[in-house]
Amino acid sequence: MVSVTRRGAVVLMGLLLAAVAVLVADGPARAADVYVQVTPSRVGPGELVGIRASCRSTREAASVESDAFGIVTVHPQHGYLSGTATVPTHTRPGTYRVKLLCVEGPNASTMLTVTAGGHQPPRPDGPPQPHPSRGPATGFGGADGGPDLGGLVVPGGLGITVAGLVLAMLAARRRGPRTPH
């Protein structure tokens, strides 16, 4: 006959393993990770647009297309897809759809507005505007460029918790049954 504490430990272990499986599984919730962003969202003809995107797999390049700039390839960089596009000088003003075409899974889209004019020349009547030559020395160091490990925190923590519970069960089992003196 199985003791109540051992049966409880087996049930608890099963529940923990089921929770890990649910949290780690790639399901429909991953579709929310598919997006495309353009910066700035309003540009003039001849201006550069930054593109940041994410597909289910950010390890493979993807295509981004728009009538505003044609087709460009976005490449993996720091856990997302990145690229740039130049809006041709002959592009007419208007709002254009920008479509992310992922290799696998769903696609995404956003809008880009092309305005009538490009860069505005600086005003001659105002004082010259300062232009920084480098970023601020804030002491952040190389911490920004490291790998993105955010997706490993929950599964890693659950794995350590499960390992701790298994070790606790083994230690309790090793002590043996308690008998009154």
Residue 18 lies in a domain: no
Say if strands 70-77 and 62-66 run parallel, antiparallel, or are unpaired: antiparallel
> Residue 89 has what DSSP assignment?
T
Determine, yes or no, domain membership for 11: no
Expressed as residue numbers, the domain containing 36 is 31-117
Q: Give me the CATH number covering residue 102.
A: 2.60.40.1930
Contacts 24+ apart (CB under 8 A), 20-23: 20/155, 20/158, 20/159, 20/162, 23/154, 23/155, 23/158
Please check whether residue 142 lies inside any domain of the structure: no
Residue 172 lies in a domain: no
3 located within any domain? no
**Residue type at 16 in one-letter notation:** L
Q: Band of the pLDDT at 96, cuts 50, 70, 90?
A: very high
Least confident of 26-30, 52-56, 117-121: 26-30
* Domains in the chain, number: 1
Let me know if residue 85 belongs to a domain. yes
pTM of structure: 0.50
Asked if residue 56 belongs to a domain, the reply is yes
What is the C-alpha to C-alpha distance for residues 150 and 55, in angstroms, rounded to an integer? 16
124 or 97: which leads in pLDDT:
97
pLDDT digits (tens, 9 = 90+) for 109-138: 999 999 987 554 445 555 555 555 555 555
Task: Tell me if 13 is assigned to some domain.
Answer: no
